[in-house]
Chains A and B, each alone.
Chain A
Amino acid sequence: MKKLVKYVKPYLFMIFLSIGLLFAQANLDLQLPDYLSNIIDTGIQQGGVENAAPLAIRQQEMDRLFIFISSTNQTVVLESYTLVMENSSDFSEYVIDYPILQNESLYIRNKLKWKEIRTVSDILERPFVGVFILEQAIANPENATALWDALGVDPSTLPPGMDLFDYLESLPFINRKLILKGIISSFEAMGKNMVSQMAAFAVRQEYETIGMNMNKLQRNYILKAGGLMLLMTLLSVVCTISVGFLSAKIAAGMARDIRAGLFEKIEGFSGTEFDSFSTASLITRSTNDVTQIQAVTSMIIRMVFYAPILGIGGIIHALNKNTSMWWLIGVAVLALLVLVLTVFLIAVPKFNKMQSLIDRINLVAREGLTGMLVVRAFNREKYEENRFDQANLNLTGVSLFINRVIVILMPFMMFVLSGLSLSIIWIGSHQVADGFMQVGDMMAFMQYSMQIVFAFLLMTMMFILLPRAVVSARRINEVLQTEEVIKDPPNPKTFVEPFKGKVEFRNVSFRYPGAESDVLHNINFTALPGQTTGIIGATGSGKSTLAKLILRFYEATSGEILIDNLNIKEVTQQTLREKIGFVPQKSALFSGTIRSNLLFANENADEQLLEQAIEVSQAKEFVYSKPERFDMEIAQGGMNVSGGQKQRLSIARALVKRAPIYVFDDCVSALDFKTDAALRKALKESTGESTVFMVSQRVSTIKNAEQILVLDEGKIVGKGTHDELMETCPIYREIAISQLELEEAL
């Protein structure tokens, strides 16, 4: 994957930025249940009282609290509050919010930092609960006998004029501390949370005594928390959209770069590489595989990165709420894991089978279509239908099975999620009753657990998606890391001018990579300018390969090919091919117009040259019969012109190049005899001083060549003119006879 990793580099910054944003997003999303839980626990249950550091407290009450507070802590508290009395400067301002100020002095909390509030709250929390309980007990002494027993104090025995709090104050601080502990021990046993909730309740009572507007307090709290939630939601969506933007840019950008890299690489490939990959595979690799990578890249950024962040974040937040219920999430995740794994273990092999059955049904249908004439001629309609029906039944069976396995997923998954909520409520409610958590926390825990499960599901999805992408990536990488077999020399030479075009093969052998035997074996010949060299032989005798070696589409395995006495390996491929006009066996035209196709050979060709070329190639009649002439549209692959027309245009294209060497690779097969003859005659005149190679299966096409090479199984078995070969070369004679039916003519 080395080569492919290179393409990630330019985007690293954007990727890291995305990850940062994902962290922010996950964090923001995970805050929401926290705030909801605050709204329920603090806003609703505690009436908006957040902690045990009240906004205001009566001096009298504060003094009672101080009974249970060490002197150092008392100083801390006093520093945080200002005593306001009737004669204070801002009395009139405060009295609106705190009506009781008219009768009593109040401590008003200073503007404090959050941390300072925390400290004060921690100091006041337990004393608040203690004083609250004592006050309740004093109000209803008949209900509190148990408490008095526990404390070893009986308020009724206290001297007159001395209330319980005065009495307590008279005790040493150590004793007071123990007493406090005794009072609230039963609540502390119900969990730390219970004390906090009691303290908040006590603070509320105090507020009511002061005459504060409780409704407003509560509303403000809820609005404040809600406002923060809204802000987070907005920030979160900004984050996700930014990530979406970045991931789109990254994925599309990487796809573009990889595509360009691939294309450039493949344009440099020779026939050898094309054969080893196959053209079709190279096309899929640079199109579909890249598209696949693009889709997965963006998904990786948006999901693969996000899922663990969300999952781990969710776990942290959930544990924050309650540590003893994590196993519920574990069970749910495990259940889903088992389910997903089982389904996939059952389904995946069947999926592969289904794919092959789909291929099968396609194959049978395609055969039925392409063989329609034969099927009907032999009255085999029923046979075909049965064959199809068999394939159809097999496919239907497997696909039904897969569907029935897959449909388990959704209901079961839903059930696990619902079951998880149920269990959290059941077990959570006990936890709440025992004071380990509050109701809002339980609800938040429920939502976190959903988020964790969701993250987990996202991750499983990726495990399904990733392997496909990995296959694509591997296929692309294979192309990128292929070493080209044919390379330009580091210090290229150029042909000596004037260029003549003498082509010489010296002991040339060629073998396809990995093949067992040579396609061409020890080929020796010289082709001279102004002459035509015909090459003939049966299919597979190596004619076309020989022609392609001249253009260096393949590298000769051994021996040398010289043009004007210079080895073709010593010049660049470009320099070499500039000298050659080539007409391939499979005449390919490109989409565009006739003109654009002809100009492909020579951008500077003028109109006269074009006309000359189509005249020689016998395409004139056809081109001129079209109203648009040279501007006639050619569809992709030249599909809107016939095979013969394609061949003639393909020849015209080579002629436009005005090359000193021409290679015609069996390119007149679709022409009828008359056109073939006329073409040969015109060619002979127009190619003049050029060196011409004419590869053919037809004797008639090469009959008049100055030199004919007869190939049989990769070897030259005859070299000479037609007449000479008829005398000396049995294979040539055999070909000629079978085509010309000598025995009949005689």
Chain B
Amino acid sequence: MSVHGNKPPKQGSRGPGPMAAMMRGGEKPKDFKAAFKKFIQYLGRYKLIILFAILLAAASTAANIIGPKTLGKATTKLFEGLIATIQGTGSVDFDYIGKIVLVTLAWYIASAILSYLQGWIMAKVSADISYRLRKDISRKINRLPLKYFDKTTYGEVLSYLTNDVDTINQTLSQSITQIISSVVTVVGVLVMMFTISWKITLVIMGVLPLSALMISFIVKRSQKHFNQQQDYIGHVNSHVEEMFGGHEIVKAFNGEQKSIRKFNKYNNTLYKAAWKSQFFSGIMMPVMTFIGNLGYVAVAIFGGWLTSQGTITVGDIQAFIQYVRSFTRPMGQIASASNVLQRTAAASERVFTFLEEQEESDESAKELKLGKIKGLVEFRNVKFGYSPEKTVIHNFSAIAKPGQKIALVGPTGAGKTTIVKLLMRFYDLDGGAILIDGININDISRHELRSKFGMVLQDTWLFNGTIRENIRYGRLDARDKEVVEAAKAAYVDKFVHTLPKGYDMEINEEVTNLSQGQKQLLTIARAVLANPPILILDEATSSVDTRTEILIQKAMDNLMKNRTSFVIAHRLSTIRNADLILVIRDGDIVEQGTHNELLEKNGFYAELYNSQFETADFSIAEPVALEGTK
């Protein structure tokens, strides 16, 4: 968990059941109908299976509901037999009772089997659908243009993949059939009660509006307090995160008391909302029990009276009592159904909106291949903007001849990586063209284009796998020997042998078992193995110690030999040696030329370069410290 997460940690994402779901509320889809329609479409061939499972659930519930009424007959028979015994006119008919018990047992067994069958099927269905959703999302990630991720954070995408898919999964595996069986239970129980005695049923139904009223009152209250509580938890948590994250500042400026005062203020507000929220969500169950008990009492009084009048039998009372008892839980579940469905719709709305995002243009028709290229790169009147309103590159032309080294220079955030991104067609141009060996990069597939490039970024990216796997990422079919050769060329081999397990050492999830410099060297080895005709390099970095930095430099120099390379440059040696320097400022290329040409021009580059001597009292040049640590 990040120290400066911008959202308060999600509370209780796996709630303890329908009660909690009812309390949460709040989340609503923009268009419920459309979201659900898409969801159902996505179910595809599973629709029929789900329908079947729903039927099973209904049948199972129905079988279960028949039980009490049948069983009531046994009790009645027993009661009559008993009276007869007392009056000396007969005895208990155990054959009949035994038969009833066996019949009921059969119903119950059927119900259990159907219910399990339903659960078994839905478990498979929901697992399959979740699998497919996750797979689709993961494929989608690789098909979306980079542009999409300018406005969407990784956190959001990950949340689609985990939280939203999980919500859908839950609904499929549990909620749907639960809702169905709740409805069947309520309807079925009502029907059964009516067939026994409409009078008592009407009396019990009198309790229903009361319970509906109470439930809605409590739900409304508790939702309000619950949301309030979440807000205040957010305040408390962000204060905690902030103060602990900036602990040194708090201490350095003697701010502890101030911080504690503020915390106590938040904490007390939270307390007030918290106990109310807890209270209201806590009394839901007792109140439901109370309503159940009211029904129970009603059955006892009216049932008792009607039985004494001979209108119904003792067994009927027993059946009624079992029915009343099984009434309250499904009522609660139905009450929460709308929230569950809303939540699911909201989740699927997000997921499907993501899945329907515009993908990168289809390129299956582009069959032109670059073949073995020399590495001539030409920018011709390139025009580009991240958004249509704001053009960052207006009219840029340059030619990189095969084997040349092109330095990209400019302050942080100036957009040096923009050029790189255009070159590799992460973004499409708004105007002009980029040509490689005279072929417009739009005429070939991205796959073909990128196969000619190697890339080493300052922001090293390695994945949770062995060192060998990470190097081989550059060329998947490389033999072990080739991997080691690449490692040697990138000065990786040396330090690998000091690591436990050597090439087979697993890089951990946070990539903390390698130093920054080692990571950098690994990414270079990866590019060496790929052996591309054109290279893109991002120079290191102030977070590496001097000796490693020299190694990295050497490795990069090795790599650049005989290749056309684009270098995001930080050091003077690179810049001076460059065949072409592109000076970038505010996202635009303001000057280009060699070091000497640019100095003569006496423009921005010269200004940057000369400003280094202002306070220097010795006559050597400082690095163009345009970019600091990231």
Chain B residues whose CB sits within 8 angstroms of the CB of A582 once the complex forms: 248-249, 252-253
A672 touches B248 (CB 8 A): no
Residue-wise, chain A 574-604 has the 8 Å CB interface mask toward B (1 for contact) of: 1001101010100011110000000011000
Query: Within the complex, what minimum Cβ distance (angstroms) separates A595 from chain B?
Result: 15
Interface size on A, residues (CB 8 A): 177
Query: Within the complex, what minimum Cβ distance (angstroms) separates B339 from chain A?
Result: 19
Chain A residues whose CB sits within 8 angstroms of the CB of B194 once the complex forms: none
Query: Within the complex, what minimum Cβ distance (angstroms) separates A499 from chain B?
Result: 16
Residue-wise, chain A 225-237 has the 8 Å CB interface mask toward B (1 for contact) of: 1100110010011
Query: Within the complex, what minimum Cβ distance (angstroms) separates B146 from chain A?
Result: 7
Q: Is B78 an interface residue (CB 8 A)?
A: yes
Which of B86, B412, B473 has most A Cβ within 10 Å?
Answer: B86
Query: Within the complex, what minimum Cβ distance (angstroms) separates B204 from chain A?
Result: 14
Which stretch (A3-11, A42-50, A65-73, A81-89) binds chain B? A42-50
Query: Within the complex, what minimum Cβ distance (angstroms) separates B503 from chain A?
Result: 19
B623 touches A739 (CB 8 A): yes
Which stretch (B28-36, B37-45, B455-463, B493-501) binds chain A? B455-463
B629 touches A670 (CB 8 A): yes
Q: Which of B334-356 contact A (CB under 8 A)?
A: none
B253 touches A371 (CB 8 A): no
Q: Which of B510-552 contact A (CB under 8 A)?
A: 526, 530, 536, 542-546, 549-550
Query: Within the complex, what minimum Cβ distance (angstroms) separates A725 from chain B?
Result: 13
Chain B residues whose CB sits within 8 angstroms of the CB of A245 once the complex forms: 279
Given A280-B3, A672-B626, A741-B573 in contact, is the A267-B138 Cβ separation under 8 Å? no
B2 touches A407 (CB 8 A): no
Option from B244, B258, B474 in Cβ contact (under 8 Å) with A282? B244
Option from B108, B143, B247 in Cβ contact (under 8 Å) with A418? B108
A43 touches B304 (CB 8 A): yes
CA distance A32 to B542 in the complex (A): 78
B412 touches A591 (CB 8 A): no
Query: Within the complex, what minimum Cβ distance (angstroms) separates A387 from chain B?
Result: 8
Which of B105, B138, B139, B233 has most A Cβ within 10 Å?
Answer: B138
Chain B residues whose CB sits within 8 angstroms of the CB of A674 once the complex forms: 611
Chain B residues whose CB sits within 8 angstroms of the CB of A703 once the complex forms: 615-617
CA distance A29 to B146 in the complex (A): 64
The residue on A at minimum CB distance from B571 is A741
Q: Is A414 an interface residue (CB 8 A)?
A: yes
Q: Which of B190-209 contact A (CB under 8 A)?
A: none
Residue-wise, chain B 230-267 has the 8 Å CB interface mask toward A (1 for contact) of: 00010011101111111111111111101110011001
A403 touches B3 (CB 8 A): no
Option from A230, A233, A411 in Cβ contact (under 8 Å) with B115? A411
Option from A256, A410, A422, A700 in Cβ contact (under 8 Å) with B268? A256
CA distance A698 to B455 in the complex (A): 28
A365 touches B161 (CB 8 A): yes
Q: Is A472 an interface residue (CB 8 A)?
A: no
CA distance A601 to B254 in the complex (A): 8
A370 touches B461 (CB 8 A): yes
B248 touches A738 (CB 8 A): no
Given A226-B304, A237-B286 in contact, is the A553-B251 Cβ separation under 8 Å? yes
Query: Within the complex, what minimum Cβ distance (angstroms) separates A466 from chain B?
Result: 13
A283 touches B82 (CB 8 A): no
Chain A residues whose CB sits within 8 angstroms of the CB of B241 once the complex forms: 283, 636
Q: Is A539 an interface residue (CB 8 A)?
A: yes
CA distance A575 to B450 in the complex (A): 61
Q: Is B432 an interface residue (CB 8 A)?
A: no
Which of B11, B142, B250, B256 has most A Cβ within 10 Å?
Answer: B142
A385 touches B64 (CB 8 A): no
Q: Is A291 an interface residue (CB 8 A)?
A: yes
A363 touches B464 (CB 8 A): yes
Q: Secondary structure at chain B's binding surface: helix, strand, loop or mixed?
A: helix
Chain A residues whose CB sits within 8 angstroms of the CB of B325 once the complex forms: 450
Chain B residues whose CB sits within 8 angstroms of the CB of A244 once the complex forms: 279, 282-283, 286
Residue-wise, chain A 267-286 has the 8 Å CB interface mask toward B (1 for contact) of: 11111001000011011101
Which of B78, B92, B455, B476 has most A Cβ within 10 Å?
Answer: B78
Q: Is B287 an interface residue (CB 8 A)?
A: yes
Q: Is A1 an interface residue (CB 8 A)?
A: no
Chain A residues whose CB sits within 8 angstroms of the CB of B123 once the complex forms: 400, 403-404, 407
Q: Is B189 an interface residue (CB 8 A)?
A: no
Query: Within the complex, what minimum Cβ distance (angstroms) separates A229 from chain B?
Result: 5
CA distance A566 to B37 in the complex (A): 76
Q: Is A164 an interface residue (CB 8 A)?
A: no
B450 touches A36 (CB 8 A): no
Given A414-B64, A419-B105 in contact, is the A279-B300 Cβ separation under 8 Å? no
CA distance A384 to B135 in the complex (A): 11
B286 touches A362 (CB 8 A): no
B463 touches A367 (CB 8 A): yes
CA distance A404 to B123 in the complex (A): 6
Chain A residues whose CB sits within 8 angstroms of the CB of B127 once the complex forms: 396, 399-400, 403
B276 touches A248 (CB 8 A): yes
Q: Is A493 an interface residue (CB 8 A)?
A: no
A225 touches B112 (CB 8 A): no
A681 touches B267 (CB 8 A): no
B274 touches A443 (CB 8 A): no
Chain B residues whose CB sits within 8 angstroms of the CB of A298 once the complex forms: 278, 282
Query: Within the complex, what minimum Cβ distance (angstroms) separates B452 from chain A?
Result: 10
Option from A218, A403, A425 in Cβ contact (under 8 Å) with B308? A218
Query: Within the complex, what minimum Cβ distance (angstroms) separates B625 from chain A?
Result: 4
Q: Which of A415-467 contact B (CB under 8 A)?
A: 415, 418-419, 421-422, 425-426, 429-430, 432-433, 438-439, 442-443, 446-447, 450
Q: Which of A231-277 contact B (CB under 8 A)?
A: 233, 236-237, 240-241, 243-245, 247-249, 251-253, 255-256, 259-260, 263-264, 266-271, 274
Q: Which of B266-282 contact A (CB under 8 A)?
A: 267-268, 270-271, 274-276, 278-279, 282
Which stretch (B288-296, B379-387, B555-563) binds chain A? B288-296
CA distance A669 to B104 in the complex (A): 80
CA distance A313 to B533 in the complex (A): 83
Chain A residues whose CB sits within 8 angstroms of the CB of B12 once the complex forms: 295
A418 touches B67 (CB 8 A): yes
Query: Within the complex, what minimum Cβ distance (angstroms) separates A426 from chain B?
Result: 5
Residue-wise, chain B 213-242 has the 8 Å CB interface mask toward A (1 for contact) of: 000000000000000000001001110111
A588 touches B249 (CB 8 A): yes
CA distance A410 to B60 in the complex (A): 12
Given A45-B83, A252-B274 in contact, is the A236-B245 Cβ separation under 8 Å? no
Residue-wise, chain B 567-585 has the 8 Å CB interface mask toward A (1 for contact) of: 0000111001000000000
Which stretch (A110-118, A154-162, A375-383, A517-525) binds chain B? A375-383
Given A260-B263, A369-B158 in contact, is the A680-B91 Cβ separation under 8 Å? no
Query: Within the complex, what minimum Cβ distance (angstroms) separates B616 from chain A?
Result: 8
Chain A residues whose CB sits within 8 angstroms of the CB of B143 once the complex forms: 381
Q: Is A477 an interface residue (CB 8 A)?
A: no
B546 touches A744 (CB 8 A): no
Option from A222, A379, A739 in Cβ contact (under 8 Å) with B304? A222
A39 touches B300 (CB 8 A): yes
Q: Is B396 an interface residue (CB 8 A)?
A: no
Option from B240, B246, B300, B619 in Cβ contact (under 8 Å) with A229? B300
Option from B60, B256, B267, B293 in Cβ contact (under 8 Å) with A256? B267
Chain A residues whose CB sits within 8 angstroms of the CB of B238 once the complex forms: 591, 636
Q: Which of A9-48 contact B (CB under 8 A)?
A: 29, 32, 35-36, 39-40, 43-45, 47
Chain B residues whose CB sits within 8 angstroms of the CB of A396 once the complex forms: 127-128, 130-131
A433 touches B92 (CB 8 A): yes
Query: Within the complex, what minimum Cβ distance (angstroms) separates A596 from chain B?
Result: 11
B424 touches A376 (CB 8 A): yes
Known: A32-B297, A399-B169. 6 other contacts (CB 8 A): A233-B296, A362-B158, A369-B154, A376-B426, A380-B476, A425-B78
5 closest Cβ contacts across the A-B interface? Answer: A407-B119, A226-B301, A240-B286, A588-B246, A252-B275
Could you write out 7 A-B pairs with CB less than 8 Å apart? Answer: A365-B157, A385-B142, A410-B119, A548-B248, A588-B245, A590-B246, A741-B571
